[in-house]
């Protein structure tokens, strides 16, 4: 196999079982069940890539057509997924061929100016221009210390355990309302809600089935929801030592949010609460009486790549006026490499190529890290990823790119 790029092509529905088994084998997952037997609803085989060595699938990749919230706007986003290379075909340029093919096709098709993925290994995707743009808090705490601050307004609403059908009917509309204000959130159509609510026993790891809460205001309006599981355990002395894993909590205001957490902290027989997918800047941390009760171990979450720098920078909003020339270094996408004049502010912006002298020099990976407003360009300068040419340019850019709401992505794909 001398040229892997020449052999890449989309998989057909008939080839899906072999394609998916090859992918799951590399990820170390069970290569059986409904996912393998038939093409899932959320799969887009026309956007897949596979590499065959004879009858054997030796590399896979795919793209989901998603919608991503960015500062002040929502944009189409290519959700890169299924990326694997068989151990028998490593170090032959296969992954590089896949990444280049995806980026080139995205650029030529013009559908999405931004791509994103969840990285199985953090050392892989930086060389292709991706960077972590959101972080998950990976929160945990002991229930005996998890108490809300005195005076926190939990409102006059009620929290109820509900069946999944009732939960979904209310959560869909509420999620679609709140996700538009949080950079990094993804739209969830029906197939993505189907996937989010799937609850296979094999995926519970000894915990209960997923349980669902709705918070309802006195006027009957649903203003919050939560999903969680409990895993029971007992100490040698016969004391309860259960673990509560909270998968998602969303609300339209502080009272509903506080009331949901108040309910969760009081669940019987639980001694530890874990919130692996929470934002690393979750407001829960500021609702607690004991600020040390909740421990965070932040992990990278959504990695972002600017497929087309000009379109991507013009699509988002900025907290303050910015008028700078950015010299972007992009080894993988020559159409991005060069100087870009960015003139923008809170109401929108414009970004186009220019021959003017640069104010900042930045590699595309660092620009991706700052794109959702969570990573400061000043921090990236301190790390040697941004070079200031015009005095004050880093301060202006860092101020304008930052966003009041921390970026967060609770949806793995």
Q: pLDDT of 285-303, one tens digit each?
A: 999 999 999 999 999 999 9
Q: Concatenated DSSP letters for 244-260?
A: EEEEEEEESSHHHHHHH
Strands of 87-184 (E only): list them.
Answer: 114-118, 131-132, 135-136, 139-142, 158-162
Which residues of 73-174 form beta strands (DSSP E)?
Answer: 73-85, 114-118, 131-132, 135-136, 139-142, 158-162
Determine whether the annotation assigns residue 275 to a binding site: no
Residue 66 belongs to what H/E stretch? strand 56-70
**Active site residues per annotation:** 125, 413
Q: Is 27 helix (H, G, I), strand (E, B) or coil?
A: helix
Would the annotation count 328 as a binding residue?
A: no
- Enter the DSSP assignment of 101: H
pLDDT of residue 1: 58
284-310: string of b/e by CB count within 10 Å (b at 16+)? bbebbeeeebbebeeeebbbbbbbbbb
List all residues 6 or more positions away from 176 whose beta carbon is below 8 Å from its beta carbon: 187, 188
Distance in angstroms (rounded) separating the CA atoms of residues 213 and 362: 45
Q: For residue 145, say whether it is annotated as part of any ligand binding site.
A: no
Write down the residue that tokens 């991503």 correspond to. 68
pLDDT at 227 over 90: yes
Residue 71 pLDDT > 70: yes
383 DSSP 8-state letter: T
> Structure tokens of 122?
């953090």
User: According to the annotation, is 200 in a ligand binding site?
Assistant: no
Given this model, what pLDDT does residue 202 score? Answer: 85
Tell me whether residue 384 is annotated as binding: no
> What is the chain's mean pLDDT, rounded?
97
Q: Is the model's pLDDT at 123 over the cut of 70?
A: yes
CA 149 – CA 314 distance, rounded (Å): 42
Classify residue 278 by burial, with Cβ atoms within 10 Å: 0-12, 13-18, 19+.
buried
What pLDDT score does 30 carry? 87
Architecture of the domain defined by 139-298: 3-Layer(aba) Sandwich (3.40)
Distance (Å, rounded) from C-alpha 304 to C-alpha 69?
Answer: 12
How far apart CA 327 and CA 358 sit, in angstroms, is 6
167 close to 225: Cβ distance less than 8 angstroms:
yes
Q: Which of 384, 386, 383 is nearest to 401 (CA)?
A: 386
Closest CA to 370 of 353, 357, 354, 383: 383
Residue by residue, DSSP assigns 264-279 as HHT-TTEEEEEETTSB
Q: How many Å is the Cα radius of gyration of the chain?
A: 23
Question: Which DSSP state fits 404?
Answer: S
Question: Do 113 and 254 touch, CB atoms closer than 8 A?
Answer: no
For residue 351, which of 322, 384, 320, 380 has the smallest C-alpha distance?
A: 322
Residue 34 pLDDT grade (very low, low, confident, very high; cuts 50, 70, 90): confident
pLDDT tens digits, one per residue of 72-121: 999 999 999 999 999 999 999 999 999 999 999 999 999 999 999 999 99
The reply to whether 304 sits in an annotated binding site is no
Ordered by start, the domain boundaries in the chain are 4-112, 139-298, 309-401
Instruction: Provide the token pair at 315.
Output: 């699509």
The DSSP output letter for 372 is T
Whether 139-298 and 4-112 are alike in CATH topology: the answer is: yes
339 is in an annotated binding site: no
3-state helix, strand, coil in the chain (%, to 5): 30, 30, 40
Q: Which residue has the higher pLDDT, 291 or 210?
A: 210
Q: Find out whether 84 is annotated in a ligand binding site.
A: yes
Domain 4-112 fold: Aminopeptidase (3.40.630)
Question: What CATH code would you report for 309-401?
Answer: 3.30.1050.10
Q: Sheet containing 158-162: which strands, arranged edge to edge?
A: 158-162, 211-216, 222-231, 242-251, 270-275, 139-142, 294-296
Residue 121 assigned to a binding site: yes
Q: Determine what percent of the chain is predicted with pLDDT higher than 70.
A: 100
For residues 363 and 361, what is the distance between their CA atoms, to the nearest angstrom? 7
70 marked as binding residue: no
The predicted structure's pLDDT at residue 31? 86
Q: Is 405 annotated as a binding residue?
A: no
């Amino acid at each position: 196999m001398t040229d892997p790029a020449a052999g890449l092509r989309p998989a057909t529905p008939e080839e899906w079982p072999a394609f998916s088994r090859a992918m799951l084998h590399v990820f170390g997952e069970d290569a059986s069940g409904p996912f393998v037997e038939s093409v899932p609803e959320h799969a887009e085989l026309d956007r897949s890539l596979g590499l065959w060595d004879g009858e054997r699938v030796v590399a896979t990749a795919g793209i989901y057509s998603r919608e991503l919230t960015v500062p002040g706007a929502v944009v189409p986003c290519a959700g890169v997924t299924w990326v694997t290379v068989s151990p028998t075909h490593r170090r032959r340029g296969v992954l590089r061929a896949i990444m280049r093919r995806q980026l080139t096709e995205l650029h030529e098709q013009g559908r999405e100016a931004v791509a994103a993925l969840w990285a199985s290994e953090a050392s892989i995707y930086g060389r292709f221009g991706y960077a972590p743009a959101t972080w998950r808090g990976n929160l945990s705490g002991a229930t005996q210390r998890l108490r809300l601050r005195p005076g926190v307004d939990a409102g006059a609403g009620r929290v109820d355990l509900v069946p999944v059908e009732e939960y979904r009917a209310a959560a869909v509309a509420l999620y679609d309302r709140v996700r538009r204000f949080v950079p990094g959130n993804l739209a969830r159509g029906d197939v993505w809600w189907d996937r989010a609510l799937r609850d296979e026993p094999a995926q519970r790891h000894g915990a209960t089935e997923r349980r669902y809460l709705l918070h309802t205001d006195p006027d009957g309006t649903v203003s919050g929801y939560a999903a969680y599981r409990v895993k029971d355990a007992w100490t040698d002395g016969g004391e309860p030592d259960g673990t509560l894993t909270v998968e998602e909590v969303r609300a339209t205001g502080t009272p509903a949010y506080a009331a949901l957490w108040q309910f969760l902290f009081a669940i019987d027989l639980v001694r530890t609460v874990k919130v692996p997918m929470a934002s690393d800047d979750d407001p829960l941390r500021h609702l607690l009486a004991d600020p040390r009760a909740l421990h965070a171990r932040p992990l990278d979450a959504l990695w972002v790549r600017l497929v087309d720098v000009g379109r991507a920078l013009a699509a988002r909003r900025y907290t303050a006026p910015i008028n700078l020339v950015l010299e972007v270094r992009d080894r993988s996408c020559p159409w991005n490499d060069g100087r870009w004049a960015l003139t923008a502010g809170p109401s929108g912006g414009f970004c186009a190529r220019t021959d003017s002298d640069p104010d900042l020099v930045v590699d595309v990976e660092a620009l991706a890290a700052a794109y959702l407003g969570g990573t400061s360009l000043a921090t990236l300068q301190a790390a040697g990823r941004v070079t200031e040419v015009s005095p004050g340019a880093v301060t202006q850019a860092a101020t304008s790119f930052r966003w009041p709401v921390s970026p967060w992505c609770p949806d793995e794909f």
